[in-house]
Chain A
């Protein structure tokens, strides 16, 4: 279970997040919405240790992870994607996923430096496993391509594959549908639902595309100016005055 309690983060006087609390339960897909600059991405950065919270606690499976270094947070079973895609652009699609396995290989530095055959063998086995993640998101035919040359939609899928390859318990998706056309969004929706089922994942999803979020998230948290504005099922939120005023009023109609 992910639990945020009274979390606060300021940037040179600007309160990006203030006194925010929320819970996400195992196996849940939780939606996180809010107008631009509401503090959604900052929330992900706080959970993953990219930023240290100025106040409050963040716990995951009963353990306090607030302010923990990102690589330790990953070890606890949390993975994420980025709003502005951050792939290893110069590497191949396959290598991007392969990197996720760096902690799961068994050889040590001396054998690596000497280039012993067991290193090559283990690396090869990883390739097979990495390929299964590429197949999962439908990128198997692009494995040898340089990641930087992928079109937008596929880059987003590769980021998801890379995060899944970490075998996380919780995955944080930051606007995965941004820049996708309607058909791609339908595919993405299927992908998210499928991995949610297959891996019994807990997912927190930030999205501006209301159609997507309303259709796959049973529960949604609305953020405005760094604080929680509302929380509830899609139906409840659609009838919530405050939410309509702050957010849906402009966006929902044309979505």
Chain B
């Protein structure tokens, strides 16, 4: 029971971060190989707040998210400018991820490469599920608002979007900040689940795992990536597949999805639609 419990907790924590990348990649059509840095910032900011300053967990969680948002502007403003190829952003954020790690490894307050240990355990399964649910609600609300419309328009056709009066830079930056927030919250949850954090946890490998979950779950979907995030953490754990084989398989899955089914598990659809459809069919049969 304890084992399943912690696997599920870890899955839900990963899902919160994946939700962030879903916003940026799935709904805004931008790619990133550095979102692990935002998870790291959230983890460290929140852990430092609870560890050194005894800030209440809920506040630390939010401040962890906001810390990542602040950092997202440093990387986003120079690189997301309109008209620039998104590749500049992808590579800059990759280098940025490395730089963040080096900084974390060399600060006193983070206790360097050894990492920060003895963090309180606040992220229990019910807490994590609650946070995931709230985050899903926030993301969903964002997507169905005019801010979400703008993001989706940019994903579909940036030039047509501009001709609808959409500011490309502002739209991408907002999505990046939002995704950094969720990743930061995910990091904060992670720190208060594992009870220790080290800079090496937040490498490009972590970033690519986020991408894998978003792509496999489906571009333009919230529920797909969330399910995939939990699935990707839980299944290999349960099957006791070694970590490295897991990544080999993720890599292969990504290529196969791109070649055969670019829409992923539920691209452009949501689980709720399935529910509604089923409900409608049942009603029809009943009457």
Contacts and interface: CB of A to CB of B under 8 A. Distances in A.
Interface of B: 82, 137-138, 140-142, 144-150, 152-153, 156-157, 159-168, 174, 220, 268
Nearest to B268: A90
Contacts of B165: 71, 74-75, 100, 102-103, 166
A48 B152 contact: no
A64 to B, nearest CB: 19
Contacts of B146: 101-102, 105, 107, 112, 123
Contacts of B152: 88, 91
B164 A162 contact: yes
Given A70-B162, A113-B142, A114-B138, 6 more contacts: A90-B156, A112-B147, A115-B138, A115-B144, A119-B144, A119-B145
Interface string A206-244: 000000000000000000000000000000000000000
A119 B153 contact: no
Contacts of B163: 48, 50, 70, 74, 79-80, 82, 86, 163
Nearest to B150: A102
Interface residues of A, number: 36
Given A88-B152, A88-B160, A99-B149, A123 B144 contact: yes
A42 B138 CA distance: 42
Contacts of A82: 159-160, 163
Interface string A24-55: 00000000000000000000000011100000
Nearest to A102: B146
Contacts of A75: 165
A255 interface: no
A119 B145 CA distance: 7
A87 interface: yes
B145 A71 contact: no
Contacts of B162: 49-50, 69-71, 74
A50 B141 contact: no
A109 B170 CA distance: 13
Which of A48, A70, A74, A80 is packed against the most chain B CB atoms within 10 Å? A70
A12 B133 CA distance: 53
Interface in A51-84: 69-71, 74-75, 79-80, 82
Given A86-B159, A88-B152, A102 B166 contact: yes
A48 B142 CA distance: 29
B144 A100 contact: no
A113 B165 CA distance: 21
B82 A69 contact: yes
A138 B54 CA distance: 63
A3 B152 CA distance: 34
Nearest to B148: A112
Contacts of B82: 69
A102 B141 contact: no
A119 B140 CA distance: 12
A98 interface: yes
A89 interface: yes
A109 B160 contact: no
A161 B162 CA distance: 16
Contacts of B161: 88, 99
B164 A86 contact: no
B167 A71 contact: yes
A103 B149 CA distance: 11
A115 B160 contact: no
